[in-house]
Structure 1
Amino acid sequence: MGHSLCAPSAGRWPRSYNKGEDSLFFETFNRNKRSLSLDLGTPGGRKVFEDLVRTSDAVYSNLRGDVPAKIKITYDDLKHLNPAIVCCSLTGFGMTGPRAKQPGYDYILQGLAGWMDLTGDPDGPPTKSGLSLVDFCGGYVAALSLMAGLHAARRDGVGGDCDVSLYDTAISMLTYPAAWHLNAGYRPGRTKNSAHPSLVPFQAFEASDGWFVVGCAKEKFWVRLAEAIGLTELLDDPRFTDFAARGQHKDELLPLLEKRFAEATVDHWVSLLTKAGVPTGPINDVEQALTEEHTLARGLIATTEHEVWGEVRQVTSPVRFGNEPAEYRRAPRRNENFDEVMELLGYSAEDVSGLVEAGAFGSIAQATP
């Protein structure tokens, strides 16, 4: 079984919840990994890197689009060492195109790709998602591309490049609004209370003590909703007989629903509608989401031990395979696995000493061996 080489981002140094290089941000994204520091700008560092490539399955990087070629970590640069190596580069804008040399950040990508224009209240400004969704989705796209590349390499014995970008990810996720626009000239607009653009009712509603979502994606859910909340007369109203009619008369229907939902609590309505078989759920804050019964039942909170932070609790990966429970290990300290990797490569003590003196591992390695 081979290994993957990863060029990490600067997550060790965020401004929030950090103690030196130990940060909760870095812990979040680097659990179960191992660390070796290399300076690829030195001949020794390059030698160690190339020795690792010979025994690895993949090289993964998260850099600016023009950097992988500059530091020679593309497939053409490495195939002579390992013809089956898969080189996955997740960049801001990809390794081709007019923006290839530009740095790409989630916030900027949400603006460029039209996401912010789609998000927010109709009377408010363009709005960014509360989470870095382009970054996160880009990571998943990179992982999927890498898996496809590894499958092809094991089948054919030949690797290649995965040129993955945050820009490509963000544009591709425009999905059906893009298809509607490209084929029918559709121009999406923001909707009040996060309403679905075509299904009514399917949106957030305010109860007496908070907000919740009702989603009538099928006609049967509309029938169940009207019956559950005691507004069965709406079922016989010709203005609300089907999706098309409700969409046309939504300004007449929604105030009726809003008035009824304001009469009781979120828990009341969610419990009532869940029993009636209507898709619904509360709009939780982060604390509520993390303590949801289903969150805990699905094992979505992991705990690791850390020398600086003590017990670290964090959310787990949603990727699953098989029935064996996952094991979690804290993120590595910088260069923590130096000795392990040196042994893996079969380097002698003299080899290691010479490489350290030549600066192959950067200054951090001087005190490690």
Structure 2
Amino acid sequence: MTRPLPLADVRVLAVEQYGAGPFGSVHLADLGAEIVKIEDPGTGGDVGRHTPPYAEDGDSLFFEAFNRNKRSVVLDLTDPAGREVFEELVKVSDAVYSNLRGDVPAKMRIRYEDLKHLNPAIVCCSLSGYGMTGPRSAQPGYDYLLQGLAGWMSVTGEPDGPPTKSGLSMVDYTGGIVAALSMVTAVHAARRDGVGTDCDVSLYDTAIGMLTYLATWHLNRDFEPSRTHHSAHPSLVPFQNFATADSWVVIGCAKQKFWARLVTAIGSPAWAADDRFATPAGRYANSAECLGHLEKELLTRTTAEWLAVLEPAGVPCAPINTIPQALVEEHTAARGLVVTTEHPRFGSVHQVASPVRVGDPRSQHHRAPLLGEHTAAVLGELLGTSEADYQALASRGAFGTDRSAPWISR
């Protein structure tokens, strides 16, 4: 007997757009949650549908990356008829999940206080730039801004170079995961207690929270974090990028035993016996000299030659791949990290899988939905809406100004 996916009994109304929110909910969708994506017909739906470079007529490969295994419903939440439908859906759902500016959930009346009369157990999860409280709550927040404001850029890049953002939108992505975790936790509590709540999650909180030990060092010992040469770890030596004869390699000696393995693997040159480099504290205090020796040594062979020596010796190391190289790594395939969906416009769409693993992973994935593709089906299945009722709602403007909304057979 095949077991259902772990979140198959969870239904989420997702008033989400672009990256951070959809990134959080796509993992829930992969785990079986029913993600009903509420899209604004007046704006062409989720802005991610129109994100270049690979975008055509309301579909984009950007959108595909964040919205597989979801359903799309178009609703004009500013219209009384659209709001009526939304409130009926709240009654049969576990959560309302949004990623909007911090002051918008109150304006849209999608907080717990606004919806609890419809469903006392509803969870209202808001992921915003700065949260629903505080002096920045009404400001728009984006990953790039947060990487600057939260100090991330000050520790990224070379010491003599400019502050640098991460090549990936890590505040958005981690914020999405934090929101998803918060929401699932709140749903668990609501099922236990019969009472829902708000989850006030923000990209700002996420970015500040991820400062971790750098913040602790500063708050307690006035440590001043800064950019390091070749992305070196702030305290572990050696733990950084090294140039080789043809490219780059990362070597990380997080423990003393790895240092011993490293110097043995490179042939234990005379400098390796220097008392200044014998302990982690010594290497930290004399990092310039220690790293100078290693840099010269590592330039003598190619990355492949070094990996052939270091990996069998048990030294933590890796090549610095390009993204195309990373996607064809043997381990990527072995872990099933590329999944495929079929799309009427783009054909077979390959994308990376969710790293969240609970039991056996989903065996089949469905493409991201077309705009409003499931409107009639969702209303019919969840609310018992008939074709006549559906057309009446359409004529009242529930689905936007296009009064010819088609009835989609279930």
TM-score by length of 1: 0.98
| Alignment match, 1:113 | 150
| Pick aligned residue for 1:179 from 210, 216, 224 | 216
CA deviation after TM superposition for structure 1 residue 325, in Å: 4.0
| Alignment match, 1:366 | 404
| Pick aligned residue for 1:94 from 95, 109, 131 | 131
| Alignment match, 1:270 | 307
| Alignment match, 1:49 | 86
1:3 matched to 2:11: yes
Per-residue CA deviations over 1:278-299 (Å, capped at 9, x if unaligned) read: 0000000000000000001000
Q: Is the 8 A contact 1:338 1:368 kept in 2?
A: no
Per-residue CA deviations over 1:196-222 (Å, capped at 9, x if unaligned) read: 111111110011111010000111100
Alignment of 1:212-251 (within 5 A): 212-251=249-288
Alignment of 1:332-351 (within 5 A): 332-344=369-381, 345-351=383-389
Per-residue CA deviations over 1:276-322 (Å, capped at 9, x if unaligned) read: 00000000000000000000100000111100001100101101111
What's the C-alpha RMSD, in Å, of the aligned pairs?
1.1
Cα distance in structure 1, aligned partners of 2:186 and 2:404: 36
Alignment of 1:200-215 (within 5 A): 200-215=237-252
Change (3 A) 1:145 1:238: same
CA deviation after TM superposition for structure 1 residue 366, in Å: 2.9
CA deviation after TM superposition for structure 1 residue 187, in Å: 0.4
Alignment of 1:277-316 (within 5 A): 277-316=314-353
Per-residue CA deviations over 1:248-268 (Å, capped at 9, x if unaligned) read: 212112121111111111111
CA deviation after TM superposition for structure 1 residue 20, in Å: 1.9
Amino acid at match of 1:102: Q
Alignment of 1:110-189 (within 5 A): 110-189=147-226
Amino acid at match of 2:329: E
Q: Unpaired runs of 5+ in structure 1?
A: none
Change (3 A) 1:341 1:212: same
- DSSP 3-state at the match of 1:69: helix
Moved over 4 A (4+): none
- DSSP 3-state at the match of 2:71: coil
Per-residue CA deviations over 1:32-88 (Å, capped at 9, x if unaligned) read: 000000001111101100110000000001100000010100000000000000000
Segment drifting more, 356-365 vs 98-107: 356-365
Amino acid at match of 2:115: L
| Alignment match, 2:30 | none
TM-score by length of 2: 0.88
1:354 matched to 2:365: no
Segment drifting more, 357-366 vs 97-106: 357-366
Q: Unpaired runs of 5+ in structure 2?
A: 1-8, 18-46
Alignment of 1:19-30 (within 5 A): 19-30=56-67
Cα distance in structure 2, aligned partners of 1:130 and 1:358: 46
